[in-house]
Structure 1
Amino acid sequence: MKCVVALTLLLAQSFAFAQTPAPSTLSRVTQSGILRVCTPGDYKPFSFQRAPGEFEGLDVDLMGSLATALNAKPQFVKTTWANLLPDFVAGKCDIAAGGISVSLERQKQAYFSTPYMVNGKTPLTRCENVARYQSIEAIDQPSVRVIANPGGSNEKFARAKLSHAQLTMHSDNLTIFDELVKGHADVFVTEAAEAIVQSKAHPELCAVNPDKPLQYAEMGYLLPNGDDVFKHFVDQWLHLSQANGEYAQMSAKWLGK
């Protein structure tokens, strides 16, 4: 009888342990005082690494706001677009930011915050060629030299939609615009916000119809899969930031609108 009772107690304790939820990221961040943010840091105007350990951009400012709401400080963890999801899933950070497109493939392994921006795919080309590249069909031609950066939604779009064009992968997202300026490539398809910002930084380049993108896209923040507590907090923080005008102020700083 004693053995049966002992076994019952052991099973009950094991069941209770199995049902105990894992600590939320919210608790870990508030206790440690550090919000770890994975970011590629090569995507203006969202996140740009200007020096080792020093980042700037819209998402950098917003992550500072989120950290403040958590009574914490942001700690940016440098990654690449190819390694963004593996690094995040491996637990190297609490949230990922930097102009990340919401996708079903990423959603399989992580949560997304509520989207904070609609930012569809937009061609960037030399200004004299704007009339030539008004559609996917016009770009997806054997004579058109398309350039893309690896590991993210830009590469996925290029491979899926522009398979007939000459595709070149350029690993450095910071110098990919110079390839267009020099005439080494004809078109780079990226998000509208980046196309607009880079056209201002490079007068030779123009964004093609950024208000009518080739493909609809949203941007959000990667969050730990299954952590509903942290997702609800981030979503509410983002809602309040937009409602009280903080988001608009930061957006105007980096996007000029």
Structure 2
Amino acid sequence: MKKITAMLAFVLAFSSSLFASYNDIWEQSTLNQVIDRGVLRVGLDAGYMPFEMTNKQGKIVGFDVDIARQMAKAMGVELEIVNTAWDGIIPALVTDKFDIIMSGMTLTSERNLQINFANPYIVVGQSVLLRKGLKDKVKSYKDLNDPKYTVVSRLGTTGDIATKRMLSKAKQRMYETEADGAIEVANNKVDAFIYDLPFNAVYASQHPDQLIHLDTPFTYEPLAWGVRKGDPDFVNWLNNFLTQIQGDGTYDKIYGKWFESSEWQKTLK
């Protein structure tokens, strides 16, 4: 009888331990926190065409926003956009200001030391916005690697890294926003802007008389959603969600709206 009682006590203690562990996992999982809260908080830095921008009504729109909307729908929760300055977006995620970064962020080894990433949802690369006067002189990013040229990008981005690494001989300046750097080229104050191809393609189409777009990307840039470390449950769900929307046509529909049409440009400020 004593053996049976001891065995029952052991089973009950083990079951309690398992239940406690399960509760801990549930509470630690961002996905479960989102479901319990009823709101998915998405961190982004509005200003990166066509991923996240502000329209004439002051609403943040774009490719990432539409994907986030589908993500929240799949979770059965509301969507909350948290507009965050780029230089603080990773610290804000780590300190739980929002649940996920969906802001055209390139997956890099350095960033991966701080946060985890889901599978890449799109691949882009750095390209060159060139002032019109250099049309016959510069045919490739390599031609800009010369002290006579001033090349700019956005501070803290992979464009910043590529400029410093691959155009080390050129004069360099870094700006706080994409628009600040690109407008300097359009106004003939600097020679070239190095940044992600999608942004440069849109900006060049808006300033055809001032800019030339060298649209062959010269870096490999997989963009991915960033989440806090230690949360495989959330990463697993995100990867499966991406597979689903890529397979059922949802992704292609959203991609076509923002990358294969220019109608959305009429809605911007």
Unaligned runs of 5+ in 1: 1-8
The correspondence for 2:97, drawn from 69, 89, 92, is: 92
What is the match of residue 3 of structure 1? none
Q: Output the CA distance in 2 between the equivalents of 1:44 and 1:141.
A: 29
What is the match of residue 184 of structure 1? 189
Deviation at 1:255, TM superposition (A): 0.9
* Deviation sequence 1:26-56 (CA, Å, 0-9, x none): 1111111111111111101001134797211
What is the match of residue 230 of structure 2? 226
- The reply on whether 1:35 has 2:40 as its aligned counterpart is yes
Contact 2:41 2:100 (8 Å CA) reproduced: yes
What is the match of residue 240 of structure 2? 236
Q: Output the CA distance in 2 between the equivalents of 1:82 and 1:180.
A: 23
- The reply on whether 1:133 has 2:138 as its aligned counterpart is yes
Deviation at 1:61, TM superposition (A): 0.6
Deviation at 1:135, TM superposition (A): 3.3
- The reply on whether 1:61 has 2:66 as its aligned counterpart is yes
Classify the secondary structure of the residue corresponding to 2:119: coil
Contact 1:81 1:150 (8 Å CA) reproduced: no
Q: Output the CA distance in 1 between the equivalents of 2:253 and 2:59.
A: 22
The correspondence for 1:214, drawn from 218, 233, 238, is: 218
Contact 2:127 2:217 (8 Å CA) reproduced: yes
Q: Of the two, which has the highest radius of gyration?
A: 2
* Deviation sequence 1:95-132 (CA, Å, 0-9, x none): 10121111111111111111111101111113453453
Contact 2:42 2:100 (8 Å CA) reproduced: yes
Matches within 5 A, 1:159-198: 159-198=164-203
Contact 2:154 2:195 (8 Å CA) reproduced: no
Q: Across the two proteins, how many residue pairs are aligned to each other?
A: 246
Contact 1:195 1:206 (8 Å CA) reproduced: no
What is the match of residue 205 of structure 2? 200
Deviation at 1:75, TM superposition (A): 1.0
TM-score (normalizing by structure 1): 0.87
* Deviation sequence 1:109-159 (CA, Å, 0-9, x none): 111111111101111113453453333431121111111111221212222
Classify the secondary structure of the residue corresponding to 1:215: coil
Contact 1:123 1:133 (8 Å CA) reproduced: no
Aligned letter for 1:189?
A: I
Q: Output the CA distance in 1 between the equivalents of 2:127 and 2:133.
A: 16
Aligned letter for 2:70?
A: S
What is the match of residue 253 of structure 2? 249
Q: Output the CA distance in 2 between the equivalents of 1:144 and 1:82.
A: 27
Deviation at 1:207, TM superposition (A): 1.9
What is the match of residue 49 of structure 1? 54
* Deviation sequence 1:7-30 (CA, Å, 0-9, x none): xx9xx9xx9878943521111111
- What RMSD over aligned residues (CA atoms) do the two structures have, in Å? 2.5
Q: Output the CA distance in 2 between the equivalents of 1:26 and 1:130.
A: 50
TM-score (normalizing by structure 2): 0.83
